[in-house]
Amino acid sequence: LLTRDCDGDHSISDLPALVRAADYAGEAYGHTRLLVLGARRSRRRPMGWLRGELELLLDEVTLDAVQFHLARLGRPLPLALCMQATGVDLNSGYKLYGRELAQQLFVNQEPAFAGIPEVDYWHYGPETCPVVEALLAEAVLAEVPRLTWDGQPTSSFGSFDPTHLYGCMLRWLFNRLDIPLGVAACWYDNRAAGLNLRSTAEGQELLARLRIFALAQLQEQCR
């Protein structure tokens, strides 16, 4: 099952590379619980500086949270088929789901809204949430590079409040994986510290607002 965003930034010519990677992973691991990501070499160039920075933050904190959760279960996070040089591109809008994984995520399993409104889950979560659920289902994750435009041809990002958009996804992540408040706060601070977004006063203010929004539910639960 292949999915592509409708922003005009996903070339159909990249499709064979995703299929080849899926074929390889299926043969190597003996199953089709696999997810192939069409990875961008840069997040900032196609999406703009602000969105690229925030998406990188979300990807990095997501991997921290998933590794922590799996470690509690005694399971490693296999990333051997991912490129990783620029961070695993979890929120790429170009994904190929193996048959077994697609059946598990989209037929057998009910969506877990994990404390965020259902409308926000469907509005903001179609890239982040299935990746997390796939990794919980012991899927193999792979990446292949894909083409992008320097600037997405079609985008409604400017109409969104980035604090709410990325804050909802971080809230969902922390709730879904039962992450303690102190641990979530530490990961956020660790990853935010490395962003170029902190080089401007506006960027620092945005990151501070996002931190408050993302951790608010966990703080309420601790009271």
Instruction: Tell me which residue has tokens 């990807």.
Output: 59
What mean pLDDT do residues 53-59 have?
94
**Higher-confidence residue: 27 or 223?**
27
What is the reported pLDDT for 108? 97
**Is the predicted pLDDT of residue 168 greater than 90, yes or no?**
yes
Reported as a single tens digit per residue, the pLDDT across 72-124 is 999 999 899 998 766 899 999 899 999 999 999 999 999 999 999 999 999 99
Residue 134 Cα distances to 11, 23, 80, 196, angstroms: 24, 18, 16, 30
Specify the range with the lowest mean pLDDT, choosing from 17-21, 144-148, 185-189.
144-148
Q: Which two tokens stand for residue 141?
A: 């994750």
Report the pLDDT value the prediction gives residue 25, as an integer from 0 to 100. 95
pLDDT of residue 213: 96
**Structure token pair of residue 77:** 């996070």
H/E segment holding residue 161: none
The per-residue pLDDT of the chain, averaged, comes to 90
pLDDT band at 18 (very low <50, low <70, confident <90, very high): very high
DSSP designation for 90: T
Return d(Cα 31, Cα 41) in angstroms, integer: 28
What is the rounded average pLDDT of the residues 152-174? 82
Q: Which two tokens stand for residue 57?
A: 């933050």
Over residues 58-81, the mean pLDDT reads 95
Tokens (6 digits) for 185: 């706060």
> 100 or 8, which is more confident?
100
pLDDT score, position 74: 97
Mean pLDDT within 64-79: 96
